[in-house]
Structure 1
């Protein structure tokens, strides 16, 4: 049975209509999305006792997304994570981006997709969001056409498909920046249990720029003193193009999240810089460790590391990547 898709007006931003969409399956579990940043607004799934709770951070009104500075639930592009010194070379051309993280460019710089209004098409079993990023926007080459497709299954699986083309050789690295909290907002994520399918992690400088060295994984824990902001090198996929990236558990509620992806990397960010004055669903602004991001993507600063998996998108080539979130419940 296909999900039932509904739509409501959510406001106006810069003369563009903003909408809230819901995809609900026959069990009552649902996903809410908005065309502002092609963002995930809510994911409501049951705990082991059958009680539904929203397991992502978000805002009850569009103003929250307009004012948000932490990329909550948003589609990230053109380049997820950092590009060192906001510049890169491609085919003999030097490109300067707009820095927004000190001297570096982060999450697309000041022209990131997270604040853009996407066009929308509602299909029988999916919602697709469409955006054109013009040549030179944010300093990136090429007129880029991006499609983001969301599907919600009867088994509480959320699939995100990214497809893009460019009329000029460019770079691209798109992800989603959902913050997960499997307790349904009852507690923070410090006691969540996380397993990442990786044996190595990227070594970085203090400002999160990769050095190019891959180091063996240790067993870090969520700490209130210093959180996680690491890019893990995912283990190779089998015959299926999707590889398992992570398993996140909340033992109190029994909720479990499995993450699968076609991307080679997973950035685990424990939300230690979450801040702002915008009330979230509980009526108070979000604070550090209220949610954890599991960002499937290419490696940070890949354009400046020829030995990293390539993020180059050639003319007439099709960028095609996928993320799959599987929500289940474990017994007591």
Structure 2
């Protein structure tokens, strides 16, 4: 495995942005930038060895800073996913966040971690990115120090190791928001997916959890067996899948296979492993006429996300796994996207 570094331009306010290219012996190449600790591209071979970029994104910083960027490849925080009415409490103290998704707070606020330039360096055979979020930023309590380490092994597994510490009790929920298309372009409705989850979090019309965990069995949400994404998508609440699945974990905090995907024509495969209790399966329902890499036009259901995380709105549901982080504790999370081909 090798890593090289190059310039990726600069932000609108003049901050330099770097790209890091990780290459594996398997033929998989990943590019990450320190703006938003973003996964920009993954080139992966098909059964015949033909490479395609299987991650949606942009060619330059103009795209990543555009108002229409739907978090392509970004690291979302402090709190990924939704917080109802932009409010939560810690030890009886209520905090208010920006409401930037209907009535909800989404993905850390107006200027979340996805819009920050992280410190970044090559450390051994990995890229380490770090960020300090000051007390009160976007309404969250505590000064938070976050690290994200990207590494790629020679079998084509892209590993994301997160860690964080705080000086004041706070909440934290990080995720990667990459949109995948294993064909390289076109609809993902024919991709075959399996999600290792017996239950999912019921949501209301604003995509906020009610608190109920419902069994997927016998419903359009059942993806326990390999199923084409498009088979039941039109029967799913809303415009398609945008739901948190409660992973059948091997044990709390243990690395577990959350989902596996096959693209039948190319034979490319993706496995998603995580230590988190949930994975948000999202089928790019709100992507419309976005100009991406090489002038490609991205539209609805031409990508899918597997966002490993805690459940949405967890601070407001005591029965959900806790997202609180206290001084002296260390938040850790691992997510692995393993790329391969059908054997």
TM-score > 0.5, shorter chain as reference: yes
CA contact (8 A) 1:76 1:107 kept: yes
2:267 is matched with which residue: 254, 257, 261? 254
For 1:15, what is the secondary structure of its paired residue? Answer: coil
Instruction: Give me the whole-angstrom Cα distance separating, in 2, the residues matched to 1:282 and 1:192.
Output: 23
1:87, distance to aligned residue in structure 2 (A)? 0.5
Alignment partner, residue 270 of structure 1 = 283
The aligned counterpart of 2:139 is 139
Distance 2:72 2:299 in 1: 12
Q: Give 1:27 shift.
A: 3.8
The counterpart of 1:307, out of the listed 316, 319, 342, is 319
Secondary structure of the corresponding residue to residue 201 of structure 1 = strand
- Between the aligned partners of 1:293 and 1:157, the Cα distance in structure 2 is 17
1:40 maps onto 2:39 in alignment? yes
1:75-90 → structure 2 map (5 Å cutoff): 75-90=75-90
Unaligned 5+ runs, structure 2: 222-228
Q: Which runs of 5+ in 1 are unaligned?
A: none
Q: Does 1:214 align with 2:213?
A: yes
Deviation at residue 318 of structure 1 after TM alignment:
0.4
SS in 2 for 1:179: coil
| Aligned CA distance change for structure 1 residues 159 and 8 (closer, same or farther; 3 Å) | same
Deviations 1:199-252 (A, max 9, x none): 001111011110011111134443468311011010021598101100111010
2:42/2:54 contact within 8 Å kept: yes
Separation of aligned partners in 1, 2:313 and 2:252 = 28
Task: Write the distance in 2 (CA, Å) between the matches of 1:298 and 1:240.
Answer: 11
Match of residue 19 from structure 1: 18
Contact 2:71–2:177 under 8 Å retained in 1: yes
- SS for the counterpart of 1:324 is strand
Counterpart in 2 of 1:194? 193
Corresponding residue number in structure 1 for 2:225? none
**Residue 169 in structure 1 maps to residue 182 in structure 2:** no
Distance verdict in 2 for CA 1:232–1:8, change over 3 Å: same
* Of 20-29 and 132-141, the range deviating more from structure 2: 20-29
- Quote the residue 1:4 is aligned against: 2
Q: 1:280 aligns with which of 292, 296, 305?
A: 292
Matched residue pairs, number?
Answer: 327
Aligned counterparts of 2:97 and 2:297: Cα–Cα separation in 1: 31
- Give the alignment's TM-score, normalised by structure 1: 0.95
State the TM-score, normalizing by the size of structure 2. Answer: 0.92
SS where residue 114 of structure 1 aligns?
helix
Pair 1:292 & 2:326 matched: no
Instruction: Provide Cα deviations, 1:293-332, integer angstroms capped at 9, x if missing partner.
Output: 000000000000000000000112100001011111014x
The answer to whether 1:129 aligns with 2:118 is: no
The CA deviation string for residues 14-47 of structure 1, in whole angstroms up to 9 with x for no partner, is 2210111100123432100000100000111110
1:230 aligned to 2:275?
no
Counterpart in the other structure of 1:329: 341
Query: 2:44, 2:339 within 8 Å by CA — same for their partners in 1?
Result: yes
CA distance in 2, matches of 1:324, 1:28: 17
Name the counterpart of 1:31.
Answer: 30
Counterpart secondary structure, 1:327: strand
Cα RMSD after superposing both structures: 1.5
